[in-house]
């Protein structure tokens, strides 16, 4: 996986993290699982890697407050 190409693809789509009304705390906790102290780019890269590790599973996305549509689009852009 070329991390630079992946990050560029992720920056070309809407935010991969979602924060539905009424679920802010749960969404923030889920995002923290992917958090990288070296910055936001590595955080979205970690989310993308986890998404791929789970084969783009929609349930995984819902559970982790990830935007499945954005992650799918980033995958297509990367290819």
pLDDT digits (tens, 9 = 90+) for 14-36: 999 999 999 999 999 999 999 99
Residues with Cβ within 8 Å of 48's Cβ and at least 6 positions away in sequence, in order, are 6, 10, 16, 71, 74
pLDDT digits (tens, 9 = 90+) for 37-71: 999 999 999 999 999 999 999 999 999 999 999 99
Overall number of domains in the chain: 1
pTM: 0.93
- pLDDT exceeds cutoff 70 at 2: yes
CA dist 62 and 46 (Å) reads 16
pLDDT of residue 1: 61
Question: Range of 55's domain?
Answer: 3-78
């Amino acid at each position: 996986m070329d991390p630079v190409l992946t990050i560029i693809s992720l920056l070309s789509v809407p935010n991969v993290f979602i924060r539905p009304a009424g679920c802010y705390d749960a969404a923030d906790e889920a995002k923290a699982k992917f958090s990288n102290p070296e910055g936001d780019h590595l955080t979205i890269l970690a989310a993308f890697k986890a998404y791929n590790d789970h084969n783009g599973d929609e349930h995984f996305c819902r559970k982790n407050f990830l935007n499945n549509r954005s992650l799918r689009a980033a995958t297509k852009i990367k290819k």
